[in-house]
Amino acid sequence: MWIVRLALRRPYTFVTMSVLIALLGGTAIVTMPVDIFPYIDIPVISVIWNYSGISPDEMEKRIDTIFERAMTTTVNDIEHIETQAYSGVSVTRVYFQPNVKIEMALAQVTALCQTLLRIFPPGTYPPSIVKYDASSVPILQIGLGSKTLSEQQLFDLGLNFIRTQLATVQGAAVPLPFGGKFRQVMVDLNPEALYAKGLSPADVSSALGQQNLILPAGTAKLGDIDYQVKLNSSPELLDQFNDLPIKVVNGATVYVRDVAQVRDGYAVQSSIVRTNGTRGALLTVLRNGKASTLAIVEAVKAALPKILAGLPPELEVRQFFEQWLFVRAA
């Protein structure tokens, strides 16, 4: 009963402590992230290598084996390594000890990858290094569709306009859109015309690479004025690519238009999204780290009207897989 006697002797102390506990409890309830599952922090880093055209066996011999051996001597606190090799792609998952400082481990892996690029086969792309987060789960999906806009336009709007502005929402991560067609300039070669002119696809590629350039030229001082000099040989219009010279054959200049057709096209489509029977694009909003699901969804819903106000009115936006409904019900 000593605590009762202490409370009777010091009543103001216990009243102050009670008020303080009530205030701290209310603050914790308001600021606590609300979600179904707790935050899970697993120290894992994924490294994705790309080398187009190589078989899985060669990918393992030329890249994966060297990378794994180098990590065991350079990166600290590794628990184990898992690697999967595919055609032209390999995915290496590095599992670390529970007490590791993941930021330092990420810096070590990044530095090692940049060093190994010099000894890997020519044409190897710099890897994508991603910190795995088990709590990064989809909480909202945004479908893009239209009766008049093409798949290229839908993908472009989702990638360059909607996604970039939603990425500023605190705690939200928005990957690249699914579906749609990634817009790019396509050069369709005519094999018969190339053979007749004695050219190869490499000649066309070399001509485009050498003449589609923007070079720094410095400044020119004329009197008391310094002029900025620009050397811009990059075509401003798509049709101007057809006028680029490739090579002089038998005294005649061969242009791109003589052996190829340049058009506004798209990359090979690897995913298709359908909304109510029509093709479209899909944006996925992920929860990043310890952020509150409800706060992220409310911020995204508040930002969407402002974003859509500057986009074509024929763009139709629908929301799917609203996980926040289950969070709120819980």
pLDDT attached to residue 134: 62
Is the pTM value of this prediction over 0.85?
A: no
Q: Give me the amino acid identity at 259.
A: V
pLDDT attached to residue 310: 87
Kindly state the tokens that stand for 84. Answer: 């999967």
Percent helix, percent strand, percent coil in the chain, to nearest 5: 40, 30, 30
The architecture (CATH level 2) of 138-182+269-329 comes to 2-Layer Sandwich (3.30)
Please say whether the structural domain 44-132 has been given the CATH code 3.10.510.20. Answer: no
Are 288 and 170 contacting, i.e. CB atoms less than 8 angstroms apart? no
pLDDT attached to residue 327: 63
Q: Which regions in the chain score pLDDT beneath 50?
A: none
* DSSP result, 182-221: -EEEEEEE-HHHHHHHT--HHHHHHHHHHHS-EEEEEEEE
pLDDT attached to residue 118: 85
Domain extent listing, the chain: 44-132, 138-182+269-329, 185-262
- Please tell me if the domain spanning 44-132 has the same topology as the one spanning 185-262: no
Nearest Cα neighbor of 220 from 211, 212, 229 is 229
The architecture (CATH level 2) of 185-262 comes to 2-Layer Sandwich (3.30)
Are 52 and 88 contacting, i.e. CB atoms less than 8 angstroms apart? yes
pLDDT attached to residue 135: 62
Q: Quick: pLDDT tens for 32-72.
A: 666 666 666 778 888 999 888 888 898 888 899 999 999 98
